[in-house]
Amino acid sequence: MRSSDFYDLVSGRRRGLGAAALRGLLSLAEGPYRVGVWWRNRRYDAKPELTQRVGVPVVSVGNLTLGGSGKTPMVKWVSRQLRAEGVRVGLVSRGYGSTDGGPNDEALELEQSLPDVPHVQNRDRVAAAQLAIEELASQVIVMDDGFQHRRLGRNLDIVLLDATEPFGFGHVFPRGALREPVSSLKRADVICLTRSDLVSASDREAIRARAVKMAPDALWCESVTRPTGLIGVGDAVETEPVERLRGARVAAFCGIGNPLAFRKLLVNLGAEVAAFTEFADHHAYTRSDIERIEHETSASNAEWIVCTHKDLVKVGVATIGDLPLRALAIDAEVTVGAEELKQLLARVASEAPADEW
């Protein structure tokens, strides 16, 4: 099931008896999932010894819901702030969607964006952190998608809420998009509302009020996604300004957790989205997929083919049909609470072990 189909179902946007019956079945499955999450969290709360420290500070960047909430841009922002403090940073992640033991799409994107920050992928995040410390001399670890991974101890827990659907339609998976109940925000040190410019000021305040009620001591931040350019495959391809998309007829595709946010970003840049092909998150592209994109592009009379950076590193081609393939490169910009968050990260960096290299 595509991400948008799942969201249409659990949000209630999909109507009819069949959809209602399916939501009823998902509600039955929600109970056992919720109990499992509660039991796991209770174990970690009751037994602190289950959490392992690795000898260097750890910053976790995670979220409360399924799908994309802007983690990769925020991981880049956090890593760059720590590097600016003069410490060596190592990234660790589970590596979901990787094939043949190689780096997944997010790792490939981060490798290009952060060439001075090594990335270790392993389902065992403790082992990944230890390798980053012992083999790569990392002084601070940034754990990508780490809020639910409680075995690796952390010094700072940053939780992202996507402004377009911060609370998972009010239900835990599979009835909704919550990975765990909203009350879990009490573990957060920082709560950051991503894509905050896509909702009204009153909506932002309502989200903040609910989140702060759960975590009154957490730092509240807001961020936006800023497109920084259009990039292609190969060192010889120059980055082009995103203004090239204004008024242009675009065929777009993506395999990410929140495809609608990508489409909305293109529209906000002034592009006319003539064709939009959605694949599952972490999709492994095949020749038939490329042929499908080429066919839909041709049928739409598009002038551009655009995807996300995460998709570009997997597709790995410079052109599709007669048109060059470009990815929209994006970065996070913290618009509320930036200085306070930088101070917290500086404090983390100050706790790093002395440089022995």
Q: How far apart are CA 143 and CA 104, in angstroms?
A: 15
Residue 71, marked binder: yes
Write the CA distances from 345 to 2, 57, 83, 351, integer angstroms.
Answer: 36, 10, 10, 10
Closest by alpha carbon to 74, among 347, 348, 330, 343?
Answer: 330
Residue 65, marked binder: yes
Residue 255, marked binder: no
Query: 123, 97 in Cβ contact below 8 A?
Result: no
Residue 319, marked binder: no
Residue 297, marked binder: no
- Most distant pair of Cα atoms in the chain: their distance: 65
Q: How far apart are CA 248 and CA 134, in angstroms?
A: 50
Residue 277, marked binder: no
Residue 286, marked binder: no
Residue 86, marked binder: no
**Which residues does the annotation place in the binding site for ATP?**
65-72
**Which residues does the annotation place in the binding site?**
65-72
